């Protein structure tokens, strides 16, 4: 079975531009989460979507937005890019059972570099 797939794998953008990152969850997983991982740090929660609805949002500015489609894939959008947005963006899917003990299955991320 295919794991979580993310595209693109690498991306270079200029300050002020916007970016769209894509994620396909494991088949059968209805929950998708996005995390940002800056070099040397652990992943930091950005969003969680379940059944196309936003269920959680981390401490990120409104420049960050996301959505989930009927096939449970997801997009993360970042507007007005800043140098500090350079990071590895990770998507994770899980079997959402309504409690917080579902392990997350991560993709290998999109490495975003803002110059």
Select from 41, 71, 77, 79 the one that contacts another protein (CB under 8 A). 41
42 or 70: CB nearest another protein:
42
Select from 21, 81, 90, 112 the one that contacts another protein (CB under 8 A). 90
Site for another protein in 3-32 (CB under 8 A): 4, 31
Cβ-based burial of 59 (10 A; exposed 0-12, middle 13-18, buried ≥19): exposed
Select from 24, 81, 107, 114 the one that contacts another protein (CB under 8 A). 107
- Report in angstroms the alpha-carbon separations of 7 from 20, 61, 62, 100, 111: 9, 23, 22, 27, 10
70 or 98: CB nearest another protein:
98
59 binds another protein (CB under 8 A): no
Select from 8, 12, 20, 56 the one that contacts another protein (CB under 8 A). 56
């Amino acid at each position: 079975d295919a794991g979580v797939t993310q595209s693109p794998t690498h991306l270079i953008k200029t300050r002020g531009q916007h970016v769209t990152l894509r994620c396909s969850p494991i088949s059968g997983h209805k929950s998708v989460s996005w995390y940002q991982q800056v070099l040397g740090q652990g992943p930091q929660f950005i969003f969680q979507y379940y059944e196309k609805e936003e269920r959680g949002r981390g401490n990120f500015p409104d420049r960050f937005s996301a959505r989930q489609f009927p096939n449970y894939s997801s997009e993360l959008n970042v507007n007005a890019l800043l140098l500090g947005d350079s990071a590895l963006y990770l998507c994770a899917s899980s079997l959402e059972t309504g409690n917080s003990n579902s392990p997350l299955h991560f993709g290998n991320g999109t490495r975003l570099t803002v110059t």
